[in-house]
Structure 1
Amino acid sequence: MKWNHRNIHRDIAYFYIGLIIAFSFSGIILNHRQDWYPMDYAYESEEVQIALPDNPKSLDSEEFIKSIAQKWDLQDKYDGHRIRGEELRANFKRNITLDINTKTGKGFLEYKRKVPVLGHTMFLHKSTNSFWIWYSDIFGAAMLIIAFTGLFITKGKNSFRKRGWKLALAGVLFPILFLILFA
């Protein structure tokens, strides 16, 4: 088989088609995660009430979170927390979250499961596993090869040299303009 830009483009695209679809789909979902976040779903939820500390600054401490987590035997599963506005969210291993209103002490303890297929593709998209990061970097390089080899597939009046460079330039300028105007 002769290796030219057309064959390289085709074969790399064939090899990565599954990951292209998974990353594209999960990327679209991540763009709209404030409206719909299908990575996981709550299969059990209970209303909770906690006693707020006298000093509001102590809400933002790991010790405080672990002390309130003792009630549900979660202190050894603590995995981090954040405060946004009036909401305290504590994360625990095995997809358990505790959301508390920092003014009232009322909230929810939720037990979650990963959504089949969608949740797993989103996990791949967000993974920090070192092997997966290297594989994703190789995938990114493959996408560059697909993009550059694709530039030279069409010949004649619709070739890159005659027409394609204008569309490519517009495609490069669009995100730059977006960053200048909206970032």
Structure 2
Amino acid sequence: MQTMDRCGWCGTDPLYVAYHDTEWGVPERDGRALWEKLILDGFQAGLSWITILRKRDAFRTAFAGFDPVEIARWGEPEIARLLADPGIVRHRGKCEAAITNARAFLDLGGPEAFADFIWRHVDGTPLQPERPDIAAVPAFTPLSERLSKELKHAGFRFCGPTITYAWMQATGLVNDHVTTCHRHAALR
């Protein structure tokens, strides 16, 4: 039986492998989905992505399907509810940031405007670096630093350059599958 070459970070966990093979790095053009993934990447700060991936369904339930209109109206009662929910990462700053980010998302003009705002940073086309191995993949780039600053200027939180770069990779703004990975050429 032939094995498929993959990026080393996904290991062999079936959930992680499925995420790697079907979702990570696929260009996401839906603004609401981009926003949801940014929120989840913010919750991942200081943790492993597999932790968030395992809790993603619970996050979707706790955060009303990541409906930014609803979340933007939330206040202290909803934060208290989130902090009591063992199915998600219970971190006050991250929960507050999700609410702030919903408001910033809406202030930018909603899904289409957010998608346009994000994708213009790569001229609408995913970046295609040629990374031979995981050691060649940076934690952040000058572009993620610039995008992070612009997001923060627009009112977003928990979107530093490292979080922003991980999000850019996950949403396909940059194809950071290593060149030996079967997904690299597929997403080229």
TM-score, normalising length from structure 2?
0.22
Structure in which a larger fraction of residues adopt helix: 2
**Which of structures 1 and 2 has the bigger CA Rg?**
1
TM-score, normalising length from structure 1?
0.22
Structure in which a larger fraction of residues adopt strand: 1
The higher-RCO structure (CA 8 Å, 6+ apart) is: 2
